Amino acid sequence: MLRLPRRLPRLSPPSSRLISSTAPKRSDALFIHRDTPYNNPEIAFKFDAQNLKRAQEIISHYPPQYKKAATIPLLDLGQRQNKGWTSISVMNYVAELLEMPPMRVYEVATFYTMFNREPIGTNFVQVCTTTPCMLRGSTDILNTTCAHLGGLKPGETTKDGKFTVIEVECQGACSNAPMMAVNDDFYEDLTPETTKKILDAFAKGEKPKPGPQSGRKTSENSAGLTALTTKPYGPGEFCQPEFQ
């Protein structure tokens, strides 16, 4: 006789994170622009003199009929000038500068997640939660970060506007997991303590030293080198005499 499968009783309270944690995203909130007082085409945006020079330099890398190839670097430049986020005015300005239909720029800006289309805090904290980091305890890092910044949820900005925390996918620093990126810098080999330290430093307006926080050098073995311990040989050594 067949036994109906019984639902297994849950043994423990849900571990800190569920396997599938992607919240259903309501697309319209993400991929449609609606005018707001802080983000509408009426707000003027223009590159300052320095960025304009840089923009022209970037455009000059491409043949004139493929000017639109400069869309991404220009949007990035615009995002940097516009306090870290890409407003509709930035997109319109880039489109105008590259003589392309604005929609083509919107397509690019909505496709790439690193273009923030909503304002962010002064410090943009991106905690990696992809598998290698997760195995190394990124969940703790994320929870610490959120709790330390006053109980935020990922995606939110602190009230004082100093921090925005988001969860991101792999940043390519897996050998130094867990890691987070604050603005343009990677902070690696994190523990909850070092995380708090970094956040405190940023809160004070300082900039802690990027890189591994455990003291090791880049991604060297933390227990000391087991190979390649000798001095690397230089050019010409161990060569035939005529090449020395």
Partner 1 sequence: MLRIVASASRPSSVSLLSVAHRRNLSSTSARQADITLTVDGKEVTVPQGSALIQACEAAGSPIPRFCYHDRLAIAGNCRMCLVEVARSPKPVASCAAPAMPGAVVFTNTPLVHEAREGVMEFLLSNHPLDCPICDQGGECDLQDQSIRYGSDRTRFHEIAGKRAVSNKDLGPIVKTSMNRCIQCTRCVRFANEVAGVEDLGTTGRGNDLQIGMYVEKMMDSELSGNVIDLCPVGALTSKPYAMQARPWELKTTESVDVLDALGSNIRVDSRGVQVMRVQPRTNDNVNEEWISDKTRYAYDGLRFQRLTTPLIKGPDNRFVTASWPDALAAIAAGLNQTGAKGNEIKAIAGHLADTETLVVLKDLINRLGSDNLASDLEGKYGNAPPVHGIDVRSNYSFNSTIAGVESADAILLVGTNPRHEAAVLNSRIRKSWLHTDLVVGMVGTRADTTYGFEHLGEDAKALEKFLSGKVKGEFAERWAQAKRPLIMVGSSMAEHADGEAVFGMLARYVAATGERIVREDWNGFNVLQRVASRPALYETGFVPSRAATSTTPKFIFLLNADEVDPASIPADAFVVYQGHHGDRGAALADVCLPGCAYTEKSSTWVNTEGRSQLGRAAVPPPGAAREDWKIVRALSEVLGVDLPYEDLVGVRDRMWAISPSLVRWDGLEGTSLEVAKAGLGSLMSNFYQTDVVSRASVTMAQCTRAFVTREKTSLEGLGKEPLQAHA
Q: By CB under 8 A, tell whether 41 contacts partner 1.
A: yes
Task: Centre a 10 Å sphere on the Cβ of residue 220 and count the other Cβ atoms it contains.
Answer: 12
Judged by CB under 8 A, the chain residues 200 through 229 that form the site for partner 1 are: none
The strand pairing partners of 167, in sequence order, are 127
Which residues lie below 8 Å from residue 45, measured CB to CB, with a gap of 6+? 78, 82, 87, 89, 90, 92, 93
Verify binding: residue 27, partner 1, rule CB under 8 A: yes
Interface with partner 1, residue 70, by CB under 8 A = no
Residue in 34, 153, 204, 231 binding partner 1, rule: CB under 8 A = 34
243: number of CA atoms within 13 Å, CB side? 7
**Eight-state DSSP code of residue 65:** G
When the beta carbons of 66 and 233 are compared against partner 1, the nearer one is 66
- Give 177: exposed, middle or buried? Use CB within 10 Å, 0-12, 13-18, 19+: buried
Centroid of chain to Cα 64: 31
170 annotated among ligand-binding-site residues: yes
State the number of binding residues for partner 1 (CB under 8 A): 27
Closer residue to partner 1 (CB): 170 or 203: 170
Cis geometry, peptide bond prior to residue 119 (ω within 30 degrees of 0): no
Closest separation in Å from C-beta 126 to partner 1: 18
Q: Which stretch binds partner 1 (CB under 8 A): 4-12, 64-72, 125-133, 204-212?
A: 64-72
Q: Could you give the dihedral angle defined by the CA atoms of residues 92, 95, 100 and 106, in that order, rounded to the nearest 10 degrees? A: -60
Q: Quick one: tokens of 153?
A: 């949820």
Q: Which of 9, 13, 14, 24 binds partner 1 (CB under 8 A)?
A: 24
Nearest to 176 by CA among 194, 163, 190: 190
The contact pattern for partner 1, residues 97-116, with x = CB under 8 A and - = no contact, is --xxxxxx-xx--xx-----
Q: How far is the CB of 183 from partner 1 (least distance, A)?
A: 24
- The response to whether 128 counts as a known ligand-binding position is yes
Using the rule CB under 8 A, give the single segment among 62-70, 71-79, 133-141, 226-234 that binds partner 1: 62-70
Q: Is 241 in the site for partner 1 (CB under 8 A)?
A: no
Binding residues for [2Fe-2S] cluster: 128, 133, 170, 174
Which residues contact partner 1 by CB under 8 A? 24-28, 30-35, 41, 64-65, 67-68, 88, 99-104, 106-107, 110-111
